[in-house]
Amino acid sequence: MWAYWQSVPAHWREIPARYRLEGGRCMDCGYIMLPKEDICPVCGSKNIETVILPRKGKVLNYTVVWNALRGYEYYTPYVLAIIELEDGSRIMAQLTDISPSEAKKGMEVEMVLRKTKVSGESGIIAYSYKFRPVIR
């Protein structure tokens, strides 16, 4: 089944958010959003500026996904985390380059680009941001 979020225009429109953590900040209330929206979901303002969010943060909480949505079964188990970025904004993202048993609250992480999935028989590869433990 083909969904709107798999369309070619949506794919290209979301690349800045997916590759650079390009989000938006409401100039009226300060709310930070990823991806950037035209209208602030908090105050309704249309006064939104583009911001590049920090690429580092820490894990606030996480869960291990054992039963994935259709199309992602091959990738289980994987870890989804709520990450507080260095500027205080929060996002949900997959942790990568670790096993589920290595995930910890408070873990320092950094953004990387990784394969999200391979679609269909043509093997189209989708990439997106994920977070891995900070390499020192």
Read off the pLDDT of residues 20-46 as tens digits, 9 standing for 90 and up.
788 899 999 999 998 889 999 999 999
Q: Which domain, by its residues, includes 111?
A: 54-136
Do 15 and 80 sit in the same domain of this protein?
A: no
Local confidence band at 1 (pLDDT 50, 70, 90 cut-offs): very low
pTM of the full structure:
0.78
One domain for residues 47 and 59: no
Give yes or no: residues 78 and 34 share one domain.
no
Domain boundary among 17, 33, 53: 53
7 and 66 assigned to the same domain: no
Q: How many CB atoms lie within 10 A of CB 119?
A: 12
Q: Which of 35, 53, 71 marks a domain boundary?
A: 53
Same domain assignment for residues 21 and 80: no
Cα torsion 35, 39, 44, 46: sign? positive
The reply to whether 18 and 83 lie within a common domain is no
- The closest alpha carbon to 27, from 6, 13, 10, 47, belongs to 47
Which residue did the predictor score with more confidence, 67 or 13?
A: 67
* Residue range 88-105, pLDDT digits in tens: 999 999 999 999 999 999
Edge-to-edge, what's the strand order for the sheet holding 48-52?
32-33, 22-26, 48-52
For residue range 69-91, list pLDDT tens digits in order. Answer: 887 777 889 999 999 999 999 99
Secondary structure of residue 36 in the 3-state scheme: coil
Per-residue confidence (pLDDT) for residue 18, from 0 to 100: 64
Query: Do 66 and 126 sit in the same domain of this protein?
Result: yes
Predicted confidence (pLDDT) at residue 13 exceeds the cutoff of 70: no
Total domains in the chain come to 2
Residues 94 and 114 in one domain: yes
